[in-house]
Each structure stands twice: as C-alpha cells, then as structure tokens.
C-alpha cells in the first residue's frame, strides 16, 4: 500500500500522533513470535492459520496475475497450468524461499514451479521477467503499478491459483488498548481507501 495515499496517511500520523514512530519490517518465520512477545504491534499478511493467541481481521481480498516480458512467446489472456509450469519463474521470497499462497496449493497437487530467480524484492523480479522468458506471479495491484514503467504484459494465472486475503493481526492482550485500537482503525481506513480506488481504476 505504497504511493500518495500512504504519504498522506503518514502526514496524518505525524499530525495526530507526533510521538509515534513507524517501523516496517519484512515478514519472516519469527513474526508470529514477535507479535506474541510485543516486538511487533501489528502484522499485515496473508494468514491462513494464525496462532490462537492472535486476533485476525480480514482487510481485503487480492487476486494474483502473471507478469511476462512484453515480447514473451506465450499468447492469450490466461496461462494454462501446463504452460505456467513449463517456464521458469521469478519468485518473491516471502517465507523459506517461496510464496506460500501459491506454492502450497501447487504442492498439494504434487506440482512445483521451477525457480529461475529468487528475490525478496518485487521490483527486482519485475525487471528480471521483462528481460527473460520467466514468469512472475504477483498481486494485481502491485503488478499494475509496475506495468506503467516496466515492459511487461499481465496475464491471468492458471485457474488453480486462487485469490488470497490480506489480514491484520495483533496479540489479544492489545484488544482493549485505546492506542492500539486507534492504530488498527487507521490501518483499516487506509486499506479500505486503497482497495476502493483500485477497484474503480481496474
């Protein structure tokens, strides 16, 4: 959720909570423990089965698309699963070298992608596929942003790859904290604004 909307919200945070400090970190295998211990106040992620000590509230649902080079040999508007698996992939390293919401459903069908480039950075992956025959699977909102300045095409993914939800997570002990409730409300407000704008422009 980057861009002018976020910049505006940061100005609001500076004005309304001048003593607050915002630190953004990448999700990793220790993040659930960091929420439990208080090292993290909130997490925004795709969470299927969070620990029972955490509260989880859905923010919005996102769909995946596939990014390929503008001159990529594949044609049509949607990739079949066979075509999708035939090419190597630029993979965003979300956790343990994979994108769980993509790779776990494939693993359940005893299938896996061939990784040609692994990176934690979407921008790096987008530029990689623009110059190769690799495929990048990414959230639509982010892919649309990169298409404006990276020579790529956006295709629908195989039907086997479904949508996923971004959720807001926090520890239950913070449920009655007024300051934390205020922070959660600001995050939900921003998510709603970004989601509504994306739907209008889609």
Whether residue 46 is found in the same domain as residue 102: no
Residue 86 CA to residue 74 CA, distance in Å, equals 11
Read off the tokens for 108.
């359940």
Same domain, 37 and 86: no
pLDDT at 90 over 90: yes
Tokens at 132, concatenated: 């190769």
Q: Which residue has the tokens 């997570």?
A: 169
- The CA-CA-CA angle for residues 195, 200, 202, to 5°, reads 90
Q: Provide the CATH number for the domain around residue 50.
A: 3.40.190.10
Structure tokens belonging to residue 90: 């630029």
**Residues 146 and 86 occupy one common structural domain:** yes
Asked whether the beta carbons of 134 and 90 are under 8 A apart, the reply is yes
**Residue 143 shares a structural domain with residue 68:** yes
Specify the pLDDT at position 27: 76
Alpha helices (H) along the chain: 4-16, 31-37, 81-86, 100-108, 122-130, 140-147, 178-201
With 60 as the cut, is the pLDDT of residue 2 above it?
Answer: no
Q: Which tens digit of pLDDT belongs to each residue from 10-60?
A: 677 778 888 878 888 877 778 889 999 999 999 988 776 788 899 999 998
The single-letter DSSP state of residue 47 is -
Best CA proximity match to 53, nearest among 67, 69, 37, 68 = 37
* 8 Å CB contact between 87 and 155: no
Q: Summarize pLDDT for 193-202 with one digit per residue, the tens.
A: 776 655 544 4
| Contact between 79 and 133 (Cβ < 8 Å) | no
Question: Are 148 and 179 part of one and the same domain?
Answer: no
Same domain, yes or no: 57 and 140: no
Q: Which token pair is 31?
A: 């993040």
Please tell me which residue, 201 or 156, carries the higher pLDDT value. Answer: 156
73 shares a domain with 149:
yes
135 and 171 together in one domain: no
Q: Which pLDDT score is estimated for 131? A: 95
What mean pLDDT is reported for the chain?
87
Q: Report how many domains make up the chain.
A: 2
Identify the bridge partners of residue 168 per DSSP, sorted by sequence position.
44, 57
Same domain, 51 and 73: no
Note down the domain range covering 9.
4-61+164-201
Q: Please state, for a pLDDT cut of 70, what percent of the chain lies above it.
A: 91
Q: Are residues 51 and 107 in the same domain?
A: no
Record the tokens describing residue 138, joined without a space.
């990414």
Regarding whether 146 and 76 lie in a shared domain, the answer is yes
Of residues 122, 51, 132, 130, the one with CA closest to residue 87: 132
The answer to whether residues 40 and 98 belong to one domain is no
pLDDT tens digits along 157-167: 999 998 888 89
What's the pTM value of the predicted model, to 2 decimals?
0.78
Q: How far apart are CA 41 and CA 31, in angstroms?
A: 11
For residues 81-96, average pLDDT = 92
State percent of the chain over pLDDT 90.
53
């Amino acid at each position: 959720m980057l861009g002018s909307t976020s910049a505006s919200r940061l100005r609001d945070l500076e004005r309304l909570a001048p003593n607050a400090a915002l630190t953004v970190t990448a999700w990793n295998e220790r993040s659930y423990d960091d929420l439990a211990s208080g090292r993290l106040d909130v997490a925004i992620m795709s969470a299927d089965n969070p620990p029972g000590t955490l509260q989880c509230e859905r923010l919005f649902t996102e769909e995946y698309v596939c990014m390929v080079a503008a001159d990529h040999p594949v044609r049509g508007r949607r990739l079949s699963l066979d075509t999708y698996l035939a090419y190597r992939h630029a993979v965003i390293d979300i956790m343990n070298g994979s994108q769980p919401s993509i790779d776990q459903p494939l693993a359940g069908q005893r299938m896996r992608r061939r990784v040609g480039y692994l990176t934690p950075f979407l921008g790096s992956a987008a530029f990689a596929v623009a110059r190769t025959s690799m495929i990048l699977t990414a959230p639509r909102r982010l892919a649309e942003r990169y298409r404006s300045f990276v020579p790529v095409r956006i295709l629908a993914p195989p039907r086997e790859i479904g949508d996923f939800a971004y959720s807001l997570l926090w520890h239950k002990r913070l449920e009655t904290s007024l300051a934390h409730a205020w922070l959660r409300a600001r995050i939900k407000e921003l998510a709603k604004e970004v989601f509504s704008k994306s739907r209008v422009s889609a």
